[in-house]
A = this chain, B = another copy of it.
Amino acid sequence: MSGKVQGFRFGAVSAGIRKDGRIDLALAVCDRPAVTAALFTRNLVKAAPVLIAAERASAGLARAVLANAGCANAVTGEQGLRAVQQSTQALAKALGISPEEVLPASTGVIGAHLPVEKIAAQADALAAKLTPEGHEDFAQAICTTDRWTKIAEAEVEGAQVLAIGKGAGMIHPDVGGLPHATMLVFIFTDAVVEQAVLARALAEASEVTFNACSVDGDTSTNDTVIAMASGASGKTPSEAALTAALTQVCDKLARSMVADGEGANHVAEIKVVGLKTRSDAKQAAKTIATSMLVKTALFGEDANWGRLLAAAGRAGVAFDPGQAAISIGGIAIVKDGAPIGAEAEKQANEVLKQPSYSIELRLGDGPGEFAYLTSDLGHGYIDVNAGYRS
């Protein structure tokens, strides 16, 4: 599909926020007040744009998203808030709308001040760049350590859905239910949808996608997921269909973010089944998915099932290790808590060479199950993060 969602236009410019001169300021605008739902980081330390976007999004209607890379504007206090107010004001003026209708989002270094004058200076140029096809530029401009842009599209009962995300490191969203670090996601649809329906669909989709993936276990101060519906298609999908479509695009973005995990070579789906509750299964899957020893074993392409089981054992959920069964890519390597044999592990090691695979731990006979996405932990992660600010 062309990527065009009726009612929306997109654009991006270089405002010099990033040191390298790449485009770093992105704008999406709806030609009418769009029905809006949003989720934000649950980190107690919230960046200024998160505080302001959350307040503005609570109106349930918005006209624009203004997002920048290069600076997270996560300085606490008045200065950070003022920077957001001034920069969105400049854009609102250029667009002829109210600043209250502009939702801000920022990603980049935490603790630096947002260069508001650089953003204001680009307001008119950015407004002039808006086109229905500008979403690729938008996606490019919000990238930080991302190696590729993240775009997902879906069609739902005649309406279009376009989702744009970024996120590679500090990825462990926990936004209103979501958790990773820093993830920005913007979803645009031309469906006709009530605000309460959009909010529910977004929360449900996020819970099983963004809130079920991790690169490094660090939840950002800036995680933001915003969904806007223009209604311009005139189509009104059912809530179930809309939820499915949002889940589809969010899942694609989540997988792309984990695959792009800083320095990652593999995406592993850690599926825990057989526990008492879904919540227990999520806790176990998350503990395994964030274990440094598990993640380094994945980097080493080593079917080190002892680490998998040991991580489950410290998750704080009840199970009988003597009943544990583990399979990697469908190859059973552990049964009744004991290894099946060297041949099985050799086959499993072959699976671990693939770019993506699934690891299943059956820890009992209960109905609780949950799948969590994670990446391997290799030298690239160290390189990216040890020198991020220099």
List A residues 271-312 near B (Cβ within 8 Å): 291-293, 296-297, 299-300, 302, 304-307, 309-312
List A residues 307-360 near B (Cβ within 8 Å): 307, 309-315, 317-319, 321-322, 324, 336-339
Binds B, one of A11-19, A53-61, A238-246, A376-384: A376-384
Q: Is A219 an interface residue (CB 8 A)?
A: yes
Binds B, one of A68-76, A123-131, A204-212: A68-76
Give A295 to B338 CA distance when docked, in angstroms.
34
Q: Is A133 an interface residue (CB 8 A)?
A: no
Contact of A387 among B302, B312, B382 (CB under 8 A): B302
Is A111 in contact with B339, judged by CB distance below 8 angstroms? yes
Tell me, rounded to whole Å, the shortest Cβ–Cβ distance linking A162 to chain B: 30
Contacting residues, chain B, for A304 (C-beta < 8 A):
110-111, 388-389
Is B338 in contact with A76, judged by CB distance below 8 angstroms? yes
Contacting residues, chain B, for A321 (C-beta < 8 A):
44-45, 76
Is A45 in contact with B292, judged by CB distance below 8 angstroms? no
How many protomers of this protein does the assembly include? Answer: 2
Is B379 in contact with A382, judged by CB distance below 8 angstroms? yes
Q: A43-B313, A338-B76 are in contact. Are A386 and B306 (CB under 8 A)?
A: no
Q: Is A170 an interface residue (CB 8 A)?
A: yes
Is B77 in contact with A310, judged by CB distance below 8 angstroms? no
Is B313 in contact with A44, judged by CB distance below 8 angstroms? yes
Which residue of B has the minimal Cβ distance to A323? B76
Contacting residues, chain B, for A305 (C-beta < 8 A):
111
Q: Is A136 an interface residue (CB 8 A)?
A: no
Contacting residues, chain B, for A88 (C-beta < 8 A):
none
Give A42 to B310 CA distance when docked, in angstroms.
11
Q: What are 23 A-B contacts with C-beta separation under 8 Å?
A: A44-B319, A44-B321, A45-B309, A74-B310, A76-B321, A76-B324, A77-B336, A110-B307, A111-B304, A111-B305, A111-B339, A216-B292, A216-B293, A217-B291, A220-B310, A292-B292, A292-B385, A296-B382, A297-B388, A299-B386, A300-B388, A302-B390, A377-B382
Q: Which residues of A contact B (CB under 8 A)?
A: 42-46, 72, 74-77, 79, 109-111, 169-170, 174, 181, 216-221, 291-293, 296-297, 299-300, 302, 304-307, 309-315, 317-319, 321-322, 324, 336-339, 377-379, 381-382, 385-390
